[in-house]
Structure 1
Amino acid sequence: MAVLHGQGRRQGEARGYDGIRRYLVALQPTLAAWTAANLTTLREISQDQVEKAVDGLSGHARRQLAICLRSLFRALRQERVIFRDPTRHLPVGDLKGVPQSVPRDMLAGLLDQVTTPLGRLAIALVAVHAVPGNDIRTVLTTDLSLARGTLEIRRGLLRHTVYLEEFTHQLASEWLTYRHRRWPASTNPHLLVSQKSALDPDQPAVSIGLLQGVLPKGLTLEGLRQDRILNEAFETADPLKLMPHFQKGIR
């Protein structure tokens, strides 16, 4: 508990006691089962035993237990209580139920197939930053700051900051240049506008159908977003870092 609260040998992210309590509640049945099996120390836990602990679960329950186990053993290794992390290769998602990734060759040439600045920016926000399509269509021009390299995503009173890497920053700049040149009289506050919405006095957001229409046949905005999340989940060393970046709900 002290390690999760930021009081370990090395300085790390300090989690609140409410969050730590949820971790312990999620871990309790597994720890009790290992104790009943006469395992007296977590040093005895093997990779097979960890995998068996999550095998009977699916969906949210499996993800939650996998995340908690990885966090527990990572903390123990950090404190040199154990020298081998049995959860190192434990997938966080339910591999039997996860959606299939978009083929890599299709992703690689995706932007080359899109001819409009709007389409290229929309695809980058989904495929690189995993921003949901419905959030992209409601972003306001004032939410984008090229100077700071940020994009604010709104949901009611809540905000989430997307930090743009160089490529998406360039696409955002190209879109703004195109938009101002194409519709200089537009007062629509939304960042993305179309031929129909740019000069509409009601100042509507573009439709999700318009965004979907920029994709090659067979791909969807949500499919691209899921692919981005899956790739990150399999590449990252710390699944907890995925949560603030890719959760659908924004804190």
Structure 2
Amino acid sequence: MIDLPAGVGAPNLPLQADDEPLPLAADMTPATTVCPGQESLFTMRRNWSPVLARLRSRPPGELPLTGTATALVEDFAELRRDQQASGLRKNIRTLTILGYWLGVENAFHERDVHDLAQLDTHLAAKPVCQFLRARGLLVEDPELHRDRNLAWIETALHALPQPVADEIRTWVDVLRGQGPRENEPRSWEGIRRYLTTLQPTLTAWTAASMTTLREVTSDHLHNTLKDLAGTARRQLATALRSLFRALKRKRMIFRDLARHLAVGDLTSIPRPVPSDLLAGLLDHAATPFARLTIALAAVHAVPAADLDLARGTLELHRGLLRHTLYLEELTHRLAADWLAYRHQRWPASVNPHLLVSQKTALDPDHPAVHRVTLGQVVPPNGPTLDRLRQDRILDEATATGDPLKLMRLFGITEQTAMRYVGTAYPERTAKLPR
């Protein structure tokens, strides 16, 4: 059988789930069951719609597989046995359809897996691709491995006129650590948030016939920010300061007019968490994961770190620096409980992160736990992990008033330590009248 292409001349167009499937003969037999091991004659992109329309009503167990394909599916099921039932069924069905229609004698194309899964919410692509890749049965598609945030940034830059697009691209390069000064590269996700904030402003400026950011004046900046307040103003002002600072360092503008742009009250520290909200947080935490996460935030003011249980230390990453924290008895016991639970729950997990979840424990890409998952360990009406962390530092600042101790204890910067001390003892940092 020769599969029909998704579109002539456009092999990378996305397939839509509501596309009308092409007719497929009811007695048609998959090519691999007729000629096992037959390699592809053409590399045109498959249209899985007619195949899926034919197989949708048939459960995976009814699809006849070869012995090799059956063994592959069983290996996958055994490897993912700790996965939730709904997710496992999606993965098993996807691999079964691929094995039935394409056979397992040749490697699968990654694009095929994603195109198939895109047409049905009851199918999944990523775990299947990870499994096939580990066994050398996947032909990877480079386009599928481009960071989605990077792809969004490139699309946004393409929409800007020259040379503004070149100036923004220079700023992005600086944020990625390619500037004249050494600094830790920002993530594509963080850069996308910056550019999302700037996009309406850039669009308005270019629509007003601005051809380069060298034409920006103080009036432009003032008019952009004058009607904003709160978080919206702070985010835009921060992004503008970052943009013009980078362009000045690269000598693409003469003056950094945004250098002294007021971004709002960045020095304020949240008030202490009321004691009634702190009481019983650990007692109400239902899992070892939740108890350790709360202890890390409320006792050591960190969301996560590298653990050395034998030495009783946490190694905290602060940009390019490393800071060692020493565990007290409570956190040491909670960490031991969590590691014992993790080993019992996911014995095959090799994720190097201390904290893992159902989704990340067995993921071959070893991702960190998402911040949303971390935030769910506290009660809905309780303090967030960020507030717990800030409350802990503020409590220590109130007790000692020593910024050097805060820096040694929590691994924070000099500026951050001084802000906490200034909040705890405002009279020490008040400006004297002239």
Deviations, residues 177-196 of structure 1 (Å, cap 9, x unaligned) = 00000000111111111011
- TM-score when scaled to structure 2? 0.32
2:392 aligned residue: 228
Change (3 A) 1:109 1:172: same
The one of 333, 350, 355 aligned to 1:187: 350
Structure 2 unpaired stretches of 5+: 1-264, 415-434
Instruction: Give the superposition deviation at 1:239.
Output: 3.9
Cα distance in 2 for partners of 1:97, 1:184 equals: 45
Cα distance in 2 for partners of 1:249, 1:197 equals: 31
Instruction: Give the superposition deviation at 1:200.
Output: 0.9
The one of 136, 147, 158 aligned to 2:310: 147
Instruction: Give the superposition deviation at 1:199.
Output: 0.7
Instruction: Give the superposition deviation at 1:233.
Output: 1.2
Instruction: Give the superposition deviation at 1:99.
Output: 1.4
Give secondary structure in 1 for the equivalent of 2:273.
Answer: coil
Deviations, residues 99-133 of structure 1 (Å, cap 9, x unaligned) = 111111221211111111111111111100111x3
The one of 338, 348, 353 aligned to 1:175: 338
Cα distance in 2 for partners of 1:98, 1:246 equals: 16
What fraction of aligned residue pairs are identical, expressed as a percent?
65
Instruction: Give the superposition deviation at 1:175.
Output: 0.4
Matched, 1:244 2:415: no
Give secondary structure in 2 for the equivalent of 1:162.
Answer: strand
Cα distance in 2 for partners of 1:158, 1:238 equals: 22
2:326 aligned residue: 163
Give secondary structure in 1 for the equivalent of 2:325.
Answer: strand
The structure showing larger relative contact order (alpha-carbon pairs under 8 Å, at least 6 residues apart) is 1
Give secondary structure in 2 for the equivalent of 1:205.
Answer: coil
Change (3 A) 1:185 1:145: same
Cα distance in 2 for partners of 1:190, 1:114 equals: 21
2:368 aligned residue: 205
Cα distance in 1 for partners of 2:268, 2:344 equals: 46
How many residues in Structure 1 have an aligned counterpart in Structure 2?
148
Cα distance in 1 for partners of 2:326, 2:395 equals: 19
2:293 aligned residue: 122
2:391 maps to a residue whose letter is D
Instruction: Give the superposition deviation at 1:248.
Output: 3.6
The one of 270, 280, 287 aligned to 1:99: 270
Structure 1 unpaired stretches of 5+: 1-93
Instruction: Give the superposition deviation at 1:237.
Output: 5.6
Deviations, residues 201-248 of structure 1 (Å, cap 9, x unaligned) = 111110011000111123211111111111111112634311222354
Cα distance in 2 for partners of 1:196, 1:98 equals: 34
Give secondary structure in 1 for the equivalent of 2:316.
Answer: strand
2:390 maps to a residue whose letter is Q
Give secondary structure in 2 for the equivalent of 1:206.
Answer: coil
Within 5 Å, which residues of 2 pair with 1:64-143? 97-131=268-302, 133=303, 136=304, 139=305, 143=306
RMSD: 2.1
Give secondary structure in 2 for the equivalent of 1:99.
Answer: coil
Contact (CA 8 Å) 2:318, 2:411: kept in 1 or not?
no
Cα distance in 1 for partners of 2:372, 2:352 equals: 20
- TM-score when scaled to structure 1? 0.55
Give secondary structure in 1 for the equivalent of 2:295.
Answer: helix
2:359 aligned residue: 196
Give secondary structure in 2 for the equivalent of 1:199.
Answer: coil
Cα distance in 2 for partners of 1:119, 1:171 equals: 10
Deviations, residues 10-48 of structure 1 (Å, cap 9, x unaligned) = xxxxxxxxxxxxxxxxxxxxxxxxxxxxxxxxxxxxxxx
Give secondary structure in 1 for the equivalent of 2:272.
Answer: coil
Deviates more, 1:116-125 or 1:153-162: 153-162
Instruction: Give the superposition deviation at 1:159.
Output: 0.8
Change (3 A) 1:156 1:234: closer
Cα distance in 2 for partners of 1:120, 1:227 equals: 17
1:186 maps to a residue whose letter is S
Cα distance in 1 for partners of 2:313, 2:408 equals: 16
